[in-house]
Amino acid sequence: MIEENIERSKLIYSQHDFDKIIKLIHEKPWTFKYNKGISNLWNKCLNHDEKSLIEELIYRFNIFNSDDVENFLIEMASIITDMWELPVENTIISALADNSKPDSSHSVIQSLKGHLTKKYELYSDIVKASHDIKENGVIVIVDDFVGTATSISKKVAYVRNLMQKKGIRNYSIKFIAYLGMKTSSIALDVLNIDYKIIKIMKKGISDYCAPEVSQSKKNVMKRLESEFKINSKFSLGFLESEALFKIQSYNISNNVFPVFWINKTNDNQNFESIFKRG
Amino acid sequence: MNLYDEDIIFFKELVNSGLLEIYSVHVKYHLSPFQIVRFIDTYQKLELIKYYQGSISLTDQGRSWLLANRNYILLKRHKFADPFTKKNVFENENKRIRFDKSIYRLLGQRN
């Protein structure tokens, strides 16, 4: 529970809404930390359907704390050393990031370092790592989350191109992420690489409801999204990912429904959202 | 742990009513559901209040605790942000009242 002053309510809720919010807070104590953003979003809802949908999504929302990250790292290290049994001599482990800009995959590789029992060569830049792959080499690409698999697909294509140019024919590419959308496996299977997603997550609406109900709920969400300044490619999350998760102290993913992180209303006013996205 | 704005409001209301509907407090004072849940969770854990089906009441222990600390909590003779110190001793009806020092323990602060 947070130890700071909580603002009083801007609106007086109906008894029905009030009871729902009280129950939600009791059952999802993480909401305390984000009380202002949750109240702001709730207050933007025009009708019962929108409020019910937000309530439903908050119940489904996954918050991963530092203990969860620690467990992901332990499992990631175990997959590399025990499951895949990768030898130190010809294995490179790299973050998915391809330049010096800060990226969440940098924190994965940095934290993974302390969990590996063998001294693998680690890289924070996949471009540099790819140039160091040798004949019979293995590159393991690591990231925190895979949504649509767009980034990993581009990186795999880059590595393959480079290997072709360098005339290296025997090598393999592997990929591990803490978290991934269930649908990401379709794109990952196409890549024809070994991969492992430690925790697979469902789409926040589509994977929980029948198609016609899903469509109706997505329309409800799109109406709510119209209250905000949201680029169409982020509607329902990047490429309609419908993700519902936050790793604490990490930047929230743009695959998450944008109403959870957007900071501008449609009339360009600042909006204090539940999560901040840099 | 601090004593918050909503704690004072709730205790004042509880002194006047045996059973207090939390929704009425939301309507009357605009307390947010988060403030209300924080109050309930904190003081229920300390066994000073009981929460049941949308209403709260003081326990016997809570009533004694509130009585012992009434000057401090109900009469606003304090600044909320101040730490609890021995200075918080006041005269009341010519009778010197000392605070029940369990407040320090209950609120997790040192005397």
Please write the tens of the pLDDT for every residue from A58-89: 999 999 999 999 999 999 999 999 999 999 99
Pick the CATH number of A84-201 from 3.40.50.410, 3.40.1350.10, 2.60.120.620, 3.40.50.2020: 3.40.50.2020
Q: Does B35 touch chain A (CB under 8 A)?
A: yes
- B109 pLDDT above the threshold of 90: no
Output phi, psi for B11, to 5 deg: -65, -35
- B97 pLDDT above the threshold of 70: no
The two tokens of residue B42 are: 């904190």
Place of tokens 């393999």: A172
- A242 pLDDT above the threshold of 50: yes
- A195 pLDDT above the threshold of 70: yes
Q: What is the DSSP string of A221-267?
A: HHHHHTTB---GGGTTTGGG--B-EEETTSPPPTTB-GGGT--BBTT
* pLDDT for residue B17: 87
Kindly give the residue spans of alpha helices, DSSP state H, lying in A79-137.
104-113, 126-131
Q: Does A30 touch chain B (CB under 8 A)?
A: no
Confidence of residue B111 (pLDDT cuts 50, 70, 90): very low
Domains detected in chain B: 5-106 (1.10.10)
* pLDDT for residue B72: 75
Q: What is the rounded average pLDDT for all residues in chain A?
A: 95
Residue pair A52/B61 in contact by the 8 Å Cβ criterion: no
* pLDDT for residue B91: 37
Q: Does A15 touch chain B (CB under 8 A)?
A: yes
* pLDDT for residue B104: 57
Maximum distance among all Cα pairs of chain B, rounded to whole angstroms: 41
CB-CB under 8 Å, A12 with B35: no
CB-CB under 8 Å, B41 with A5: no
* pLDDT for residue A87: 94
Task: Give the percent of chain A with pLDDT over 70.
Answer: 99
Q: What is the rounded average pLDDT for all residues in chain B?
A: 76
B80 compared with A142, residue with greater pLDDT: A142
Residue in B6, B23, B34 closest to A35 by CB: B34
Query: Which residues of chain A neighbour B29 with C-beta distances below 8 Å?
Result: 8
Interface probe with B: pick from A1, A3, A8, most Cβ of B within 10 Å: A8
What is the rounded distance in angstroms from the CA atom of residue A193 to the CA atom of residue A189? Answer: 7
Interface probe with A: pick from B37, B38, B41, B55, most Cβ of A within 10 Å: B37
What is the rounded distance in angstroms from the CA atom of residue B60 to the CA atom of residue A197? Answer: 54
Query: Which residues of chain B neighbour A5 with C-beta distances below 8 Å?
Result: 4-5
The two tokens of residue A230 are: 């949201």
* Percent of residues in chain A assigned helix, strand, coil, to nearest 5: 45, 20, 35
B41 compared with B79, residue with greater pLDDT: B41
- Distance from the B111 Cα atom to the nearest Cα atom in chain A, whole angstroms: 20
Confidence of residue B93 (pLDDT cuts 50, 70, 90): very low
Confidence of residue B99 (pLDDT cuts 50, 70, 90): low
**Letter for the amino acid at A238?**
F
pTM (two decimals): 0.86
Confidence of residue B103 (pLDDT cuts 50, 70, 90): low
CB-CB under 8 Å, A13 with B26: yes
For residues A207, A213, A219, A222, the Cα torsion angle rounded to the nearest 10 degrees is -30
Task: Enumerate the CATH 3.40.50.2020 domain ranges in chain A, comma separated.
Answer: 84-201
Q: For residue A194, which of A174, A170, A172, A171 has the smallest C-alpha distance?
A: A174
Closest-CA residue of chain A to B5:
A5
Place of tokens 């066994």: B47
DSSP state of A79: I
Residue in A1, A9, A10 closest to B38 by CB: A1
Q: Does A19 touch chain B (CB under 8 A)?
A: yes
- B101 pLDDT above the threshold of 70: no
Q: Does B33 touch chain A (CB under 8 A)?
A: yes
Query: Which residues of chain B neighbour A1 with C-beta distances below 8 Å?
Result: 38, 41-42
A154-186 burial, b at 16+ Cβ within 10 Å, e below that, comes to ebbeebeeebeeeeeeebbbbbbbbbbbebbee
